[in-house]
Chain A
């Protein structure tokens, strides 16, 4: 087993432990699992980052050009974004959604693991890390928005039906979740916009055209349009709550479809590159 794979598996184990800590944390309402969760995720983030750095160093470029690298990198950014939010506002319930997501993504990365592949020379440029980091950070922020929306719908359902005084009553308040959703929407849109723009510029320098027919670009524009409409609705029409949460989830579904679809079916430049 290579060092990077060893560290990746260590990260998988830590994310799994984080998942358990978060679940126990909401179920029993005790301090230990609640303080354990961020520590496990920080540790997972650390070894995970080392794994990706080692692989990038071996490959000679940032390790996000194959499918398993992409999954792994998305998990890393998701955990990073969650931890940033967690510093400002600890939300164990959010951790209970994010940790299993990170666990699943890294596990999938391990399952489809192939060694590093050489990068086509035309793509070897300073735009690679810029475009990729921006895009993945955007995806991670939207994944967090998705998590918050999921919790929102659960909490809203609990309150409307006036039932579920069990474990669900420890969910964060609707106000907290809606505010987090809004913040993620703004930041996600900024990052997504920059990601698309950097991709376009990069494509122009690489091939002299703007990649107009790439399915990934089409998917990204659809995602972008959904979130712009949502932001517009929030700012002018006072959209919020369940409707905003549903649209957020729809937007994230497009991201997932594009991530899976484009890469599995190997469509366009993104499909080939991975």
Chain B
């Protein structure tokens, strides 16, 4: 475990994350230590009762559990967290210990940024994790578990995620079968609002794909299913028109997109039916997607002019391609994470008392010297003794003003209120402002 590096001899304060994800732990372990939403608050309270923990937050989804804690001794706090997780879920600590990772200091910050940006997700670039993280952080904030450091850290992770989303193409390409179908259809059709789709089979897969097509703006939908009742139900659900199964070829000429998701012993649609339909629709292109295994559409259909047939393997290839594209984009995202972690860490270490005291002194001394020069010029000729008196005067005023705030800062060194006072001092005197950061002003 890497501890937060002590900075310029000031108190070591740290942030630490202990958790597991889809890579470190199988689902049987993950499901055992997941926190149901309703239990989050109570768990946070118990977490704060641990010795040395000053701030805490818990992130729990079906793919990961992360316990985030701040304390003056991150090694110590990090050591307590596995036991906490085990007690919370009534599992023996050794069962989960091997699946847990621990990140401390800068690495903990990086971890949170990467999780928020969906770089650590099972499907890189998926958008849900950010929403879950925001919700669960809100619980921690409402319970008073998070303080100034986690507040800043989480909000920064949200803005980093936003930045990555807008500056890279990490979430641009769809990685579902439905979005792959839409992507392929874009090679054929310019617009979808004047197109009609025909669904053959009304199972879950067909319904999902139809939803994707409708989300892309497909104008109308026809649903055929072996049991007509199901066709009616799905059609009503999706705002489409049910079509009798036996007469599906009659509706082929109307269909620009055909989604076949009903298996059978033989092909549902053969070339002659489509040839007939193409004549009737004056050879406007037809796009057929075969989601069924074994295939429902005769592959020979692809040989017809203006007819394009794709099967589940083709769609999977597109999905795999897009996953690859996301991985490449993830490399760009990591660079953004790196710079943002550095910026955050700069702020974090500035929370140490010593640099703040130095910066505060320098700032006031700077003001003093500048004003002194101006006054001396305005005064005209003064002798050395007079000059020394004036200089001493200014020096004394500055020292007296500084005395109380510096004493307060020293007084709270290494106690939980330290960060608060340091941050207050930095803000009041506008010391070394953190550029590009206005999320939590």
List residues of chain A with CB under 8 Å of any chain B CB: 155, 158-160, 162, 165, 169, 171-176, 179, 238-243
Q: Does B63 contact A (CB under 8 A)?
A: no
**B305 and A242: CB pair below 8 A?**
yes
Task: Enumerate the 7 nearest inter-chain pairs by beta-carbon distance, A residue then B residue, closest first.
Answer: A238-B282, A175-B190, A176-B190, A173-B190, A238-B283, A241-B306, A174-B188
A165 vs B319: C-alpha distance in the bound complex, in angstroms? 11
> Which residues does chain A contribute within 8 Å of B305, judged by CB atoms?
241-243
Binding site for A on B (CB under 8 A): 184, 186-191, 282-285, 302, 305-306, 308, 310, 314, 317-318, 321
Inside 8 A of B321's CB, which chain A residues have their CB? Answer: 165
- Measured in the bound complex, the distance between the Cα atoms of B184 and A173 in whole Å is 10
Assembly CA distance A162 to B190 (angstroms): 19
Q: In the assembled complex, how far is the CB of residue B376 from the closest CB belonging to chain A, in whole angstroms?
A: 55
In contact, A155 and B187 (Cβ under 8 angstroms)? yes
A-B contacts besides A175-B190, A241-B305, 5 pairs, CB < 8 Å: A159-B188, A174-B188, A175-B188, A175-B285, A241-B306
Which A residues lie within 8 Å of B308 (CB)? 159-160
Q: Can you list 25 contacts pairing A with B, beta carbon distance less than 8 Å?
A: A155-B187, A159-B184, A159-B308, A160-B302, A160-B308, A165-B318, A165-B321, A169-B187, A171-B187, A172-B190, A173-B186, A173-B189, A173-B190, A174-B285, A175-B190, A175-B191, A176-B190, A238-B284, A240-B283, A240-B284, A240-B306, A241-B283, A241-B285, A241-B306, A242-B306
Which A residue sits closest to B317, measured CB to CB?
Answer: A165
Write out the residue numbers on chain A whose beta carbons fall within 8 Å of the beta carbon of B284. 238, 240
**Residue pair A158, B187 in contact (C-beta under 8 Å):** yes
B316 to chain A, nearest CB (A): 12
Question: Smallest CB–CB gap between A160 and chain B, Å?
Answer: 6
Distance to closest chain A CB from B17 (angstroms) = 36
Question: Main SS of the interface on chain A?
Answer: helix
Bound together, the chains give a CA A188 to CA B143 distance in angstroms of: 72
CA A171 – CA B184 in complex, angstroms?
Answer: 12
How far, in whole Å, are A101 and B302 apart by their CA atoms in the complex? 33
A162 contacts B188, CB within 8 Å?
Answer: no
* B322 and chain A: residue at smallest CB distance: A165
SS class, residues of chain B in contact with chain A: loop
Identify the interface centre among B186, B187, B305: most chain A CB within 10 Å of its CB.
B187
**CB nearest neighbor in A for B310:** A162
**In the complex, what's the smallest C-beta–C-beta distance from A94 to chain B, in angstroms?**
14
Cα–Cα distance between A126 and B406 once the two chains are bound (Å): 93
Using CB atoms, name the residue of chain A closest to B278: A238
Cα distance, A173 to B284, chains bound together (Å): 13
**With the chains together, A243 CA to B188 CA distance in Å?**
16
* Smallest Cβ-Cβ distance to A172: which chain B residue: B190
Least Cβ distance of B175 to chain A in Å?
14
- Is B283's CB under 8 angstroms from A173's CB? no
Q: Which residues of A contact B186 (CB under 8 A)?
A: 173
Chain B hits for A158, CB < 8 A: 187
CB neighbours of A241 from chain B (8 A): 283, 285, 305-306
How far is the CB of A182 from the nearest CB of chain B, in Å? 13
Does A174 contact B187, Cβ atoms closer than 8 Å? Answer: yes
Closest-by-CB residue of B relative to A165 is: B321
Interface pair A162/B187, CB less than 8 Å apart: no
CA distance A156 to B254 in the complex (A): 22
In Å, the complex CA distance between A266 and B48 comes to 95
User: Are the CB atoms of A173 and B302 closer together than 8 Å?
Assistant: no
Cα separation A245 to B189 with both chains bound (whole Å): 17
Bound-state CA distance A241–B283 (Å) is 8
Bound form: Cα–Cα A169–B284 in Å: 21
Q: How far is the CA of A165 from the CA of B305 in the complex (A)?
A: 21
Residues of B close to A159: CB separation below 8 A: 184, 187-188, 308
Q: What B residues does A172 contact at CB under 8 A?
A: 190
Interface centre among A162, A169, A239 (most CB of B within 10 A): A162
| A247 CA / B190 CA spacing, docked (Å) | 23
**Closest Cβ–Cβ distance, residue B88 to chain A (whole Å):** 47
CA distance A174 to B189 in the complex (A): 6
B195 and chain A: residue at smallest CB distance: A175
* Contact status B283-A239, CB under 8 Å: yes
Report the Cα distance A171→B314, complex, angstroms.
19
A residues in contact with B184, CB < 8 Å: 159
Q: Which residues on A sit within 8 Å (CB–CB) of B189?
A: 173-175
**Would A173 and B317 count as touching, CB distance under 8 A?**
no
**Which residues in B have their C-beta under 8 angstroms from that of A165?**
317-318, 321
- Residue in chain A with minimal CB distance to B287: A159
B335 to chain A, nearest CB (A): 17
In the assembled complex, how far is the CB of residue B297 from the closest CB belonging to chain A, in whole angstroms?
14
CA–CA, A27 and B427, complex, Å: 48
Q: How far is the CB of A169 from chain B (nearest CB, A)?
A: 7
Q: Which residue of A lies closest to B184 (CB)?
A: A159
Which residues of chain B are within 8 angstroms of A155 by Cβ–Cβ distance?
Answer: 187
Q: Which residues of A contact B306 (CB under 8 A)?
A: 240-242
Q: Shortest beta-carbon distance, B403 to chain A, in Å? A: 57
How many whole Å from A10's CB to the nearest CB in chain B? 36
How far does the alpha carbon of A158 sit from the alpha carbon of B186 in the complex, in Å?
Answer: 13
Tell me the nearest residue of chain A to B325, going by C-beta: A165
Closest chain B residue to A174, Cβ basis: B188
Least Cβ–Cβ distance between B83 and chain A, in angstroms: 50
Q: How far is the CB of A173 from chain B (nearest CB, A)?
A: 5
B190 CB contacts on chain A under 8 angstroms: 172-173, 175-176, 179
A160: chain B residues at CB < 8 Å are: 302, 308
Which B residues touch A243, using CB under 8 A?
305
B302 neighbours in A (Cβ, 8 Å): 160
Distance, CA A172 to CA B191, complexed state (A): 12
User: How distant is B180 from chain A, measured CB to nearest CB, in Å?
Assistant: 11
Query: Which residue of chain A is the closest to B303 with respect to CB atoms?
Result: A160
How far in angstroms is the closest Cβ of chain B from A188?
Answer: 21
Residues of B within 8 A of A174 (CB): 187-189, 285
A130 to B190, CA, bound (A): 37
Contacts of A239 in B (CB 8 A): 283
Interface centre among A155, A158, A159 (most CB of B within 10 A): A159
Considering only CB atoms, which chain A residue lies closest to B189 in the complex?
Answer: A175
In the complex, what's the smallest C-beta–C-beta distance from B282 to chain A, in angstroms?
A: 3
